[in-house]
Amino acid sequence: MDIFSIPSQVWFGQLLIGLINGAFYAVLSLGLALIFGLLNIINFAHGAQYMMGAFLAWIGLTYLGINYWVALVLVPIVVGITGVIIERTMLKHLYKMDHLYGLLLTFGLALVIEGLFRHFYGVSGQPYSIPDSLKGGTNLGFMFLPNYRAWVVVASLVVCFFTWYMIERTRIGAYLRAGTENPELCQAFGINVPLMITLAYGYGVALAAFAGVLAAPIFQVQPLMGSNLIIVVFAVVVIGGMGSIMGAIATGLALGIVEGLTKVIYPPASSTIIFMIMVVVLLIRPAGLFGREQ
């Protein structure tokens, strides 16, 4: 069966790649949206923190023999703790200032973190092999589905759904939403808003690191792997609307798929399609598709 005289295998193949990219966009933009909502800071270090996730997984495996599954749990916690330290020592001084200061500081942090990894490990990519239990693939009849890629999509969606559920349906989430909306009043009710902000940043950063560990076996592990990705993720967040959790997830997935399919229909546009959509959305709905007008 051919569509536009392109074999269906090609369509499904690109759809899968789109889904995988979309899953990464979703997890990363979710963390960014969460951080922006509560801290009012555009976390430019997000890409570097994603890279740290992949790199620490690689370092753990190479030097310490820590396997993939342990890394998947441990690395986000470790990177999340570095996030907590960054928030406590640096970011907390910026909340009363313009967005721009947070952006500059986190941008500087990204350069420093990436610079450190380049200094010690160079720029060439390090391979990270797929864990044994996820090697191989499944023939679905219409296409061949590599198990690891299926796992990445499922794991990302589960983490996104879990985060969404926590924020929208639980008591902790109610604190978080209220803190995003009116932190001063939350303090006046006796809620420890500074602690909440610290934990939210830590969690957002941990999400980035989680995506990094997931990415390690798919992409080459190298110091700049995050800086290319993060630009697209920023576009995703702008399109979805800053601070909207569901918006970040849905937009991330959808744009990954759009990007993948564009590669089939008109390959030259595939690397710019998301930015073109961003321009159109900004013109029509400046607050983003899911954003609330201020």
| Residue number with CB closer to another protein (191 or 287) | 191
| Residue number with CB closer to another protein (119 or 171) | 171
Nearest C-alpha neighbor of 294 from the set 255, 219, 257, 242:
242
Q: How far is the CB of 95 from another protein (least distance, A)?
A: 13
Half-sphere exposure of 159 (CA within 13 A, CB side): 27
The answer to the question of residue 293 lying near another protein (CB under 8 A) is no
CB 243 within 8 A of CB 41: no
Q: How far is the CB of 181 from another protein (least distance, A)?
A: 5
| Residue number with CB closer to another protein (87 or 114) | 87
Q: How many chain residues interact with another protein (CB under 8 A)?
A: 19
The answer to the question of residue 285 lying near another protein (CB under 8 A) is no
Q: Under 8 Å CB-to-CB from 178, ≥6 apart: which residues?
A: 185, 186, 191
The answer to the question of residue 294 lying near another protein (CB under 8 A) is no
Q: How far is the CB of 186 from another protein (least distance, A)?
A: 8
Give me the amino acid identity at 179.
G
Q: H/E element holding 138?
A: strand 137-139
CA–CA separation, 185 and 183 (whole Å): 6
Q: How far is the CB of 33 from another protein (least distance, A)?
A: 14
The answer to the question of residue 218 lying near another protein (CB under 8 A) is no
Q: How far is the CB of 174 from another protein (least distance, A)?
A: 5
Q: How far is the CB of 197 from another protein (least distance, A)?
A: 12
| Residue number with CB closer to another protein (33 or 255) | 33
Q: How far is the CB of 187 from another protein (least distance, A)?
A: 5
CA–CA separation, 41 and 135 (whole Å): 39
CB 148 within 8 A of CB 20: no
CA–CA separation, 28 and 48 (whole Å): 11
Restricted to residues 173-202, the positions that interact with another protein (CB under 8 A) are 174-175, 177-178, 180-182, 184-194
Restricted to residues 74-113, the positions that interact with another protein (CB under 8 A) are none
Restricted to residues 133-172, the positions that interact with another protein (CB under 8 A) are 171
| Residue number with CB closer to another protein (132 or 184) | 184
Phi and psi, residue 200, nearest 5° = -65, -40
Q: Under 8 Å CB-to-CB from 30, ≥6 apart: which residues?
A: 160, 163, 207, 245, 248, 249, 252
Maximum CA extent, the chain: 64
Residue 129 DSSP code: P
Per CB under 8 A, residues contacting another protein are 171, 174-175, 177-178, 180-182, 184-194
